[in-house]
Amino acid sequence: MSATQGAAGAPPPASGPLQLWRGARLATCDAANTRIQAGALITRGATIEWVGEEAALPAARAYAQVHDLRGAWVTPGLIDCHTHLVFAGTRADEYAQRLRGRSYEDIARAGGGILSTVHALRAAGEQQLFDESAPRLAALVAEGVTAVEIKSGYGLTLQDEAKMLRVARQLGRAFPVTVRTTLLAAHTLPPEYRGRADEYIDTIAREWLPALTGEGLVDAVDVFCESIAFSVAQAERLFTAARTLGLPMKMHAEQLSNLGGTLLATRYGALSCDHLEYAGAAEAQAMASSGTVAVLLPVAYYCLAERRKPPLAALRAAGTAMAVATDCNPGSAPGASLLTAMSMATRLFGLTAEEALAGVTRHAARALGLAGTHGALVPGAAADFVVWNVGSTDELGYWIGLNPRRTVVRAAEIQRWPERQH
């Protein structure tokens, strides 16, 4: 790769100490998937200033620090672009029921499922919620995750949704990770609105969304579009409100059936459609045309023992960007390992190792509206990267239950384990 410096439309030059990171094998995860065997990075303050062959480094400069990475592979910080990691309690009892053959939908229709977590979350104070959620975020961060999306959706009152989102923001201050929050008040119908789903959606659209956005708690809006949740028409009412506020949109779409949610979301230019087991060629094409990322969630597929897989061939043929995320939640995806999600995305869904890596870096950044600043080692991006103890990047998503992370660098600062995390 030829060295690139700055770019048209790049953010203003960063300030702060200049550091050189040399002796790196770079998987830049840029659009061309550039690999550099003898590479180097220059960071200024918290930003990457220069990336290229070490042999092409600009003439010696006054570096505050020089780090020799001794030939290790370096990737951008990983991005988990779909989680519900703020919650209280567990649903291990429901998992045990599912092992005996009861379906996820059955449990949900009987008042369990998401609603059991809603009861637990409403009863939990903010500190308890933080304490229960922190180990999940710590597990992700330990694997090299430097940006994470956290959804609300277990409060389902204005106060309890706000509580979840505040805890998400607080986690972002306590851990070396960028947190993007998503309002998922339209996750399921709360009991107090039984029989009044349209009214519930209108309350979110007219009252909660503007109020929570005004408090700086919302980066995007999501809706679970499904027969056990909300219809396409209801999702559209929410999206109209989001558009008015200038908020980006996401959708839990075609997870358990095909309702047509993806086609609506793409008409609204949604950042992502997530799950997609019941999507087909029309959805893949629509996502490619609107630049909507297909977020694949293989841990939920695995834990729900789903049979139907996302339409990988159609997504590839259409050229749809595919991301991979944990979906960390107590019901369908009780786990906090993005590397395991990569393994499942390759083995269960058939992604290549390269697709899985792009899915937790460049494409995941796009799914969060962070393209250009995250998910690739390019000038102008955040200096968030991971140094790995691997012989090749094929080892990411290969090991199961083994973490080959050597060092995480966030905002150009080396993170120390375990002292910083607990």
Query: Which residues in this chain contact Fe ion in the complex, by CB under 5 A?
Result: 327
Q: Which does 363 bind (CB under 5 to 8 A by kind): ligand DI6, Fe ion, none?
A: none
Q: CB-wise, 113 or 335, nearer to ligand DI6? A: 113
Q: Which is nearer to Fe ion, 43 or 326 (CB)?
A: 326
- The item of Fe ion, ligand DI6, none sharing an interface with residue 310, based on CB under 5 to 8 Å by kind, is none
Binding site partner of 224, from Fe ion, ligand DI6, none, Cβ cut-off 5-8 A by kind:
ligand DI6
Q: Least CB distance from residue 367 to Fe ion, whole Å?
A: 12
**Order of strands across the sheet with 47-53?**
4-5, 47-53, 35-44, 18-27, 65-76, 385-388, 405-410, 413-414
Which residues of this protein are in contact with ligand DI6, per CB under 6 A?
84, 113-114, 117, 187, 224, 252, 255, 300, 327, 329-332
The half-sphere exposure of 286 on its side-chain side, counting CA atoms within 13 A, is: 20
CB of 108 or CB of 357, closer to ligand DI6: 108
Tell me the one-letter amino acid at 382: A
Nearest to 390 by CA among 380, 399, 401: 399
Comparing CB distances to ligand DI6, the nearer of 117 and 285 is: 117
Q: How far is the CB of 329 from Fe ion (least distance, A)?
A: 6
> CA geometry: angle at 204 spanning 202 and 209, to 5°?
130
In three state form, how does the secondary structure of 190-236 look? CHHHCCCHHHHHHHHHHHHHHHHHHCCCCCEEEEEECCCCECHHHHH
Q: Which of 380, 400, 407 lies closest to 141 in space, CA to CA?
A: 407
Q: Which residue lies nearer to ligand DI6 by CB, 98 or 374?
A: 98
The least CB distance from residue 226 to ligand DI6, in Å, is 7
Q: Choosing among Fe ion, ligand DI6, none, which partner's interface includes residue 220 (Cβ < 5 to 8 Å by kind)?
A: none
Q: From ligand DI6, Fe ion, none, which one binds at residue 298 (CB under 5 to 8 Å depending on kind)?
A: none
CB nearer ligand DI6, residue 154 or residue 388: 154
Rounded to an integer, what is the distance from CA 85 to the centroid of its chain? 11
Distance in Å, CB of 114 to ligand DI6, minimum: 5
179 vs 187: CA distance, rounded Å: 20
Main-chain phi, psi angles of 362, to 5 degrees: -60, -50
Q: Which does 330 bind (CB under 5 to 8 A by kind): ligand DI6, Fe ion, none?
A: ligand DI6
What is d(CA 239, CA 233) in angstroms, rounded to the nearest whole number?
10
CA dihedral sign, ordered 254, 83, 144, 47:
positive
Q: How far is the CB of 91 from ligand DI6 (least distance, A)?
A: 7
